[in-house]
Amino acid sequence: MRSIVPAWVALAFVPWVAVAQTPVKPVTPPPAPPTQPVYRGFTPGISYRAFVERAQALSDSDVLRCQTSPRTAQVMECGVVIRDPKDAARFYLSAHFIDGNADVVAFYDSAGFGDRRGVALLDRTKKELARLFGRPRPIGKSGWEWPYGRRAVRLSWRGRGTARWVSITLMDRDVMDRISAYVKAARRGKS
């Protein structure tokens, strides 16, 4: 009986010794999500200068047009038709600037008037954005959103028959909040 006890004790420690000698693989953490979303080289809060450079590089023989607010030059809207060289996608690109930064950058596209390309456009756009930004948060029946703190990416769509209108919007709420400096407070009614 004495010879069996040391054998059982030895067998009890063998798995622990084997585990301790196995090399441990370093655990790499999953990549952190980007601090701000980037879509086709544009970000929410992009500076006016960076927007103009990128938009002119992608413009599809169109002229970038900008219009300042009638009240102040610190608020401005710009727009141009662009074509991305990576996939030849065409968009109407629009941005709204407050104090030199974009609070909204929007990409507009449409298809399917008299053919079936509208449904394919929407499906392709949904897949592309889900691949770039991950799982979306649904907004109603015709919208998705990817929040990034006070910034967000929004996909909205409308349709009739096979036609589809698609809008991809990059928003920066910190820049949006600056508009209050340029808006007059509403007058109170008679008391």
| Structural domains in the chain, sorted by start | 48-176 (3.40.1000)
Mean pLDDT lowest among 7-11, 57-61, 110-114, 153-157: 7-11
46 closest CA partner among 78, 80, 81: 78
How many CB atoms within 10 Å of residue 34?
Answer: 11
**H helical segments located in the chain:** 4-21, 48-58, 117-133, 173-176
Give me the pLDDT at residue 82, please: 94
Structure tokens at 24: 């441990």
pLDDT in tens, 17-75: 444 555 556 666 655 555 789 999 999 999 999 999 999 999 988 899 999 999 888 99
